[in-house]
Amino acid sequence: MSPGGASEQDKFLDAAAKLRAQYEAANLQLDRHMQEFSNYKYDGEEFGEGEEIKPRDPAIVASDVAGQISFLRKLKFQYLEQNAKDKYVKSVVSDIDDAPIVTAEDNKELAVVNEEKKAKLKLAKETLAEAQHNIRTLAPMVEQDYTKVKQATDRATELAQKILDARLALTRLRQTHPQPRLTIPMADQKLVDQVEEIQALTDEVEEVKKRTRLIKDQVKNGSLEIEKLRIQQAESERAVQALQLEEDDNRLVPLYDWYTASLSLHRNLMGLEESHSVSENELKLVYSVGESPPTRVSISLIFIPDTRELAGVETTGFDMLGVDTAEIVESYLQSNDPSGLVALLLSRARAAAYGE
């Protein structure tokens, strides 16, 4: 055992020894008094001979005494009632000569006493009426105060429950997310970093939008140029058919060079990678859409044999960009506009590729 524990035990032993010495010096003689109380014999004069005498609890004795006092009060009231009845009967049936004489002075005294009692009764009634008026006046105010106190109590109870729920939720969060937790400076720094990142992303989005608008303008200008070249190509074809040039005609070389340059320009502007005839009435066009890496899409134009009427269109690669081509193809099949169909499909594909 340590020295500190031994010294504390010695203190308890000393205190117990002092308490025992004080008890012996007081000479209370508790054992003797308990024995005398148990062996005490009541005298026969205090109680009847047949009545059994036993020690009782003082609380039970007090209850019995209260019951006896109540019984004696009722008995006294019955005695006074019977005595008054007896006097009244005797005064009625007794001889007039023996009856007590009631004088005018007695009546005056009784009248004075009655007036005093009436005044006291009137004052008591006024006091009672004033108290009732105060009660009726103060009752709504007390009810309002009670309602406010009750609402405040309910609000306090609700807030206390919310505080307990919040503490419980905080405890669960602490258990779910142990140390090290995110401190206030770390949270502020993280917020600053997120704001900077959002600003950078916003600037990047603006740059992409500017580039998208520029590309759209370029595509629009390219489409107009292609339409012009298509018109010139049609006119050149009609001119060639009209002239019926022979193979050794010297004018065919410049026309071929112009057609080749126009086709090369169309390829560069529209991103045309391949164009070949699958059959006599089917033309397949393969385009490159987007950047890093570009997406290859193909458009197969199927015509009615020996005519320029569009019979059907097959597309591949547009579903990867999220472009639905069914409605577009259906509308342009009815109008028989293959050039407009190709231009619109490429425009939708480029818009999807650049995230517009």
pLDDT digits (tens, 9 = 90+) for 256-301: 777 677 767 766 666 777 777 888 888 888 888 777 777 888 888 8
In this predicted structure, the answer to whether residue 40 has a pLDDT above a threshold of 70 is no
Q: At 70, is the pLDDT very low, low, confident or very high (cuts 50, 70, 90)?
A: very high
Q: At 311, is the pLDDT very low, low, confident or very high (cuts 50, 70, 90)?
A: confident
Pairwise CA distance, residues 310 & 330, whole Å:
11
Q: At 99, is the pLDDT very low, low, confident or very high (cuts 50, 70, 90)?
A: low
Q: How much is the CA Rg of the chain, to the nearest whole Å?
A: 60
The residue whose two tokens read 């026309």 is 255
Pairwise CA distance, residues 319 & 341, whole Å:
17
Q: At 162, is the pLDDT very low, low, confident or very high (cuts 50, 70, 90)?
A: very high
Q: Where are the beta strands (DSSP E) in the chain?
A: 272-279, 282-289, 295-303, 310-316
Pairwise CA distance, residues 274 & 297, whole Å:
11
Both tokens of 298, joined, read 């193909």
Q: Of 12-26, 96-110, 199-213, which one has max mean pLDDT?
A: 199-213
Q: Which residue has better confidence, 86 or 2?
A: 86
Cβ pair 288, 295 in contact under 8 A: yes
Q: At 236, is the pLDDT very low, low, confident or very high (cuts 50, 70, 90)?
A: confident
- The stretch 311-340 carries a mean pLDDT of 84
Amino acid present at 263: L
Residue 18: Cβ within 10 Å count: 10
Residue 298: closest CA among 350, 338, 345, 353: 345
Burial of 297 per CB tally in 10 Å (0-12, 13-18, 19+): buried
Task: Please give the angle made by the CA atoms of 262, 329 and 267, to the nearest 5 degrees.
Answer: 20
Task: Please give the angle made by the CA atoms of 178, 184 and 186, to the nearest 5 degrees.
Answer: 80
Please report the pLDDT score of residue 30 as a whole number: 67
Pairwise CA distance, residues 298 & 286, whole Å:
4
Helices and strands (H and E) in the chain: how many: 8, 4
Please report the pLDDT score of residue 287 as a whole number: 84
Q: Which residue has better confidence, 236 or 70?
A: 70
Cβ pair 288, 308 in contact under 8 A: no
What element of type H or E holds 243? helix 184-243
> What is the domain partition of the chain in residue ranges?
129-177, 272-356
Both tokens of 5, joined, read 């524990």
Q: At 46, is the pLDDT very low, low, confident or very high (cuts 50, 70, 90)?
A: very low
Least trusted range by pLDDT, from 17-21, 75-79, 104-108, 310-314: 17-21
Least trusted range by pLDDT, from 45-54, 116-125, 149-158, 342-351: 45-54
**% of the chain surpassing 70 pLDDT:** 78
Share the mean pLDDT of the chain.
79
Least trusted range by pLDDT, from 16-20, 106-110, 311-315: 16-20
Q: At 1, is the pLDDT very low, low, confident or very high (cuts 50, 70, 90)?
A: very low
- The stretch 20-38 carries a mean pLDDT of 71
Pairwise CA distance, residues 205 & 201, whole Å:
6
Task: Please give the angle made by the CA atoms of 125, 128 and 133, to the nearest 5 degrees.
Answer: 125
Q: Which residue has better confidence, 258 or 248?
A: 258
Q: At 308, is the pLDDT very low, low, confident or very high (cuts 50, 70, 90)?
A: confident
